Amino acid sequence: MCAKELVSIVIPTLNEEENIGRLLESIIMQDYRPIEVIIVDGGSTDDTLKVINHFIEGFSGESLAIRVLSEYGECRSPANAKNIGFLSAKGKLCLFIDADYVLLEHSFISKVIDALRKSPWVSVRLIPVQGKNNLLSLAQVIQNRIWAPEGYVDERRCFRRELLEKYANPPFNPCLGVGEDADLISRLRRLGFNPIFVDAKLGDVVPHDLRRFAKRFEWYGRTSLRFYIRIHGLSLPEAVIASLRNNIGVWITLVYPLLAVLLYLALGISGLLIVLLLYVASRIRLFVKMPMKSIKVLATISFLDLIRSVAYLYGLLRGFVVAKVSRD
């Protein structure tokens, strides 16, 4: 493999004006060239394309090319957009990066390329980071880093093109919402392929407002049924059960308010104290390991758990209605 092989970075976008500039800046700052950036837009109605065009005019050239494509097809989704970008890519090395991510090291691509010389599939480290300095973002980052202090090993990003062309073409199921990455990984593992890990840090920029936070988890709930029906062959009722069973934190979070009401009606203040003790016991790791003993942060984390659960269940309900209509 040539030391200066072209790298293709595929980025799906839809109303990402707040994020895409940050990602493009981190790509421009990489110490590796040549790079082509292929952005596949799903019909943004905000200033996403305006931001992208600013970078095209200011930075796109021979060693760093930035192109924008429009998404097409019956199943509009990030998976579909990534397939379109992959089809258009010219590089033998492909990276799939979401618009709300950021490359945390100037040598991120160089590290990945060195690893792709040894393996056709590379995993990296995914670390939650704040997009804006507010309490909502801070609470998400603290919660995530308590459960995974060094970030998560992410197997979904970096491939030699030939691997995907031969064994997973197209790479992603375009009719999936959530789970398209897991589906690709599962297919490659069944064929005997496994990634090697390189300690290159990719940042997952957490939502900084409730609207984007709730929208993310509503999307997960709304599209989870597709994943279980299409990939695992489950019936619609079975898919609903699987969606709840595999997201146990969703309904456990909702149990506490209901339990508090029932015990308060039965035992008064003592009932509320019992619920509080149960909640503290369930979150003891969070209380012990949280780097800053802030009541505001704890309260925000608990509030976000509730919003996450409600949004996921609302999305699940919407997905159930659509799936049921499509079956009639």
Q: Are residues 255 and 311 in the same domain?
A: yes
Query: What is the number of structural domains in the chain?
Result: 2
In a domain, 17, yes or no: yes
pLDDT of residue 1: 44
Q: What is the extent of the structural domain holding 318?
A: 213-327
Q: Which residue type, as a one-letter code, is found at position 206?
A: V
How is residue 177 annotated by DSSP?
B
Q: Are residues 83 and 37 in the same domain?
A: yes
Token duo for residue 40: 């596949």
Task: Give pLDDT tens digits for 66-125.
Answer: 999 999 988 889 999 999 999 999 999 999 999 999 999 999 999 999 999 999 999 999
Task: Give pLDDT tens digits for 217-226.
Answer: 999 999 999 8
Q: Are residues 245 and 269 in the same domain?
A: yes
Please name every residue paired with 13 in a beta bridge, in sequence order, or none if there are none.
41
- Around Cβ 114, how many Cβ atoms within 10 Å? 15
Q: Are residues 166 and 304 in the same domain?
A: no
Q: Are residues 92 and 201 in the same domain?
A: yes
- Around Cβ 122, how many Cβ atoms within 10 Å? 25
In a domain, 1, yes or no: no
In a domain, 114, yes or no: yes
Q: Are residues 12 and 139 in the same domain?
A: yes
List the 35-41 sheet strands across, edge first.
64-70, 35-41, 7-13, 93-96, 152-160, 121-130, 196-206, 101-103
pTM here is: 0.87
Q: Tell me, rounded to whole angstroms, the distance of Cα 250 from its chain centroid.
A: 18
How is residue 46 annotated by DSSP?
S
